[in-house]
Every structure is written in C-alpha cells, then in structure tokens.
Amino acid sequence: MHKTDILIIGGGIAGIGVGRALCHQLNLTKNQPNTASRSVTVLERESQTGYHSTGRSAAVWIQSYGNDSVQVLNDQSFHYLKEPDDISGGSLLSQRGLLLCATQDNKQNAETDRLLKSSASVVEVDAAKAASLVPILNTERYTRFVYEAISSDIDVDRLLQGWTKQLTASGGQLRCHCEVKSIRRHGDQWEVKAGSDVWHASILVNAAGAWADEIAKLASVKPLGLKPLRRSAAMVELGAGHDVSQWPVFSEIDESWYAKPEAGKLMVSPADEDPMDACDAWVDDMVLAAGIDRFETSVNDTVKRVTHQWAGLRTFAPDKTPVAGFDAHAENFFWLAGHGGYGIQTSPALSRIAADLILEQAAPSALIDSLSATRSFQ
C-alpha cells in the first residue's frame, strides 16, 4: 500500500503539467512555519508520458483559437512558452503564422467578420499577399483571407520532457505502466487500485484526457458529459517540389481541412470531429481521403503520397471550455479535463491555475468561474 497526498491520474500534458506546478508551489512553501509537506504522484497507464492526445497534436499556438476563456488562457500561456525560465534550449515557440481562407459562402463571410471583430491578433489580407504566403493556394476559390502573424509552432516534446524532469527533480513521483482499475472512498481518503498497487491519497486529480468521465464513473462520481472527438492527420508529399518550410499553417475558415509545414513535408488534416468512445484512436481511411480531396480542391497541386498518418482524440466539455476545479459533490475529487483542441497551448496557464485551486491559493476570478466543475454544462 502506497500513500501520497495528491494522486494525479494521467501522464499527458495536463497531468504532468499540474504535477510539476504543484511540486513547484509546494517547494516554495516547504520551509514556511505551520506548512505540512505534501507529496505528489502521477499514475500513467502507458509505458511513457504523452502517448495519447499530447503526443499526437499539431503542436500549434494560435492566439485567436477557442472561446473567450480559452483565449485568456492562450494569452496567459504565451509568455512562458516564448521564454521558459526553467527549460533549457530557449523558446518553445517558433513563429509560423496562420492564414485562414474564406469562400463567398455566407457562413464563411460571417465567420471572417466575427474573427476580425473579436480578435486583435488577426488582420485581413488580399489575395496577392495570401498567394505570396502560400504559393500553391487556389486563390480563385477564395474571396477573403485572414492572417495571424503571431501563431507559432510549439516544441511539445521539449515542453513535456522538461516538465517531467522538473516533476521528478522536485520530489514528485511518476509511475508508468500503472492503469487505474478501481477507485473508492475509504474514510477521508481515496483508495485507488492500479495494477498490483493500492494507493491512498487525500486529493485525487482526474487528468485522464478522453477517459476522464470513465475515471469519474470508477470513483462513483457523476460524469460531466465530456465528448472525445477524433481528429486525423497525415504527412504528405506534394506533386510539385516546393520548399514549404516558411509557409504558415493554412486552412479554410470553416475548418473543413488544414495544413501545416512539418520537417520539410506538409501535414494535412481533414479536421474531423467524429465522436468516439475513449480509445487508442486510429485513422478512418475514408475520412482522411475525403479531407485530402477537400485540401486538393483548395490548392493548385496534388498529393503525391501519404507517408505517415495518425489520429488522436480532442475531448470537449459541452461548452468547449476546459474544466479545472473540484467536483460539486465528491469531496477532494479534482477535475482537469476537456482540453479540446487547445490543451498544449493553454497548458502553462491551466496547470498553474489548477495547482493554485488544489492548494486553495487561487484568487476568485471570472476565468476561474468559467473553468469550474460546478458550472452549468447546458
């Protein structure tokens, strides 16, 4: 039987991020009078961290992405990602830019207006500028173009490895190959069975990504109605030889496909959002083929070869805002879930907020209310 004060389920960016933030906070207060020391443990089912959604992302930071709460988290995370003071190797961001293209369809036109009005980071550009950014773009298909220059690639591997090292260096434990199979309340403790181990913890943090509602059910806690949605991607080679390295991420504004340069090739995603039960997600060939077809009608080139393909789950709360907060009814059961399509780019701010809430050090704010697990999910 193992004892820990705070037990985190899930070794993706959410679990590792909050684990590292908790250890950091606890170390700051370690020698203060009347402060009991507290231990932190992360349990991960797979043999490595980041195996599921975290290791399958497009690795992009987009300021204008997501609803108002998400955009605040994007802003609050930018400075750390730009200049992390505790991860060697410098900035985790490389500026890339984002070009969104709209057809004359009314909905796409309205979305262009909405984005220009709501996001200070985007500007409207003309077809000549769009073509200079992405020379293969079929500019005859599109009537309007929106550009966000500050969008950047994120070095997800360095972020995750850096935080994992900090977690263990500052006293936290990471246990891989530990699948949580049962959870129950035992006195004032959570009793968690994982493999042949039994853990007792005062606080349980549910950072299990697509499985977060399953973990709640194991603990007899009411699920929040989180929806895992599959998103696929493929590395492709184009017919004509292009140097894609300086191109921005580019997409139709309705997100019916998007493309991103990656290691000299192009990553193309059908931007699928098919509901699935939590699982090790795989690509549906028909969905990928249809997405590549939509991409090909939008550019003056063809896909010669798909060299690699994968899929992952983006898990959303019904209102598309992440959840960070204690459950309304289950004592010391903390939700950190519903990171959707922005879990990496919001992770510095969301991990810090989650750690502050767990340690009861967070000042009330409208942002914290919007993340709460007790909010209305209608």
Ligand X SMILES: Cc1cc2nc3c(=O)[nH]c(=O)nc-3n(C[C@H](O)[C@H](O)[C@H](O)COP(=O)(O)OP(=O)(O)OC[C@H]3O[C@@H](n4cnc5c(N)ncnc54)[C@H](O)[C@@H]3O)c2cc1C
DSSP one-letter code for 308: E
Nearest to 320 by CA among 307, 305, 338, 302: 338
Residues in the chain: 378
Q: How far is the CB of 326 from ligand X (least distance, A)?
A: 18
The tokens for 34 are 């009347």
In this complex, which beta carbon is closest to ligand X, that of residue 97 or of residue 135? 97
If the CB atoms of residues 347 and 370 are measured against ligand X, the closer one turns out to be 347
Contact positions with ligand X (CB under 6 A) in 296-355: 312-314, 339-345
Closer of 144 and 291 to ligand X (Cβ): 291
User: How are beta strands 123-125 and 144-148 bridged, if at all?
Assistant: antiparallel
Smallest distance from ligand X to CB 27, Å: 23
Q: Give yes or no for residue 261 binding ligand X (CB under 6 A).
A: no
Considering only residues 4, 25, 41, 53, which one is a binding residue for ligand X as defined by CB under 6 A?
A: 53
DSSP secondary structure letters along 67-117 = SHHHHHHHHHHHHHHHS-SSSTTS-SEEE--EEEEE-S-HHHHHHHHHHHH
270 binds ligand X per the rule CB under 6 A:
no
Q: Which of 2, 5, 39, 46 binds ligand X (CB under 6 A)?
A: 46
Give residue 330's identity as a one-letter amino acid code: A
State which residue, 209 or 248, has the beta carbon closest to ligand X: 209
Asked if 180 is part of the footprint of ligand X (rule: CB under 6 A), the reply reads: yes
Phi, psi dihedrals of residue 146, rounded to the nearest 5°: -120, 135
Q: Measured between alpha carbons, how far is 53 from 281 in angstroms, rounded to an integer?
A: 9
Given 6, 7, 13, 174, the residue binding ligand X (CB under 6 A): 13
Q: Which of residues 204-223 bind ligand X (CB under 6 A)?
A: 207-211
Rank residues 113 and 280 by Cβ distance to ligand X and give the closer one: 280
Q: Which position has the token pair 């443990």?
A: 41
The residue assigned the tokens 């983006």 is 314
Which parts of this chain interact with ligand X (CB under 6 A)? 9-15, 43-46, 51-54, 56-60, 179-180, 207-211, 231, 233, 312-314, 339-345
